[in-house]
Amino acid sequence: MYYTSFLLKIKHTTMSTTYLTREGYDRLVEELAELKTTGMQESAKAIAEARDKGDLSENAEYDAAKEAQAMLMHKIGQLEVTIANSRVLDESELDTSQVTILSKVKIKNVKNGMEVMYQLVSAAEADLKQKRISVGSPIGKGLLGKAVGDIAEITTPAGKMEFEILDISL
Residues 147, 168: contact at Cβ < 8 Å? yes
Q: 84 and 95: one domain?
A: no
pLDDT in tens, 73-86: 999 999 999 899 99
Q: What is the CATH classification number for the domain harbouring 110? A: 3.10.50.30
Q: 119 and 77: one domain?
A: no
Angstrom distance (rounded) from CA 34 to CA 42: 11
How far, CA to CA in Å, does 15 sit from each of 9, 12, 74, 102?
Answer: 11, 7, 16, 21
**8/142: higher pLDDT:** 142
Residues of the domain holding 143: 91-169
The pLDDT confidence band at residue 20, using thresholds 50, 70 and 90, is confident
Q: What's the average model confidence in pLDDT over 41-52? A: 90
Angle, CA of 76, 79 and 83, to the nearest 5°: 140
Q: 34 and 6: one domain?
A: yes
Residues 102, 168: contact at Cβ < 8 Å? no
Q: 37 and 111: one domain?
A: no
* Structure confidence at residue 89 (pLDDT): 83
User: Mean pLDDT for the chain?
Assistant: 86
Angle, CA of 64, 30 and 15, to the nearest 5°: 80
Q: What's the average model confidence in pLDDT over 114-139? A: 92
Residues 120, 140: contact at Cβ < 8 Å? yes
Residues 85, 28: contact at Cβ < 8 Å? no
Domain final residue, candidates 72, 88, 104: 88
The pLDDT confidence band at residue 137, using thresholds 50, 70 and 90, is very high
Q: What is the CATH classification number for the domain harbouring 41? A: 1.10.287.180
Q: What's the average model confidence in pLDDT over 101-105? A: 92
Domain final residue, candidates 88, 104, 121: 88
pTM exceeds 0.75 = no
* Structure confidence at residue 3 (pLDDT): 41
Domain final residue, candidates 69, 88, 107: 88
According to DSSP, residue 137 is labeled: S
Looking at the structure of the chain, the number of domains it has is 2
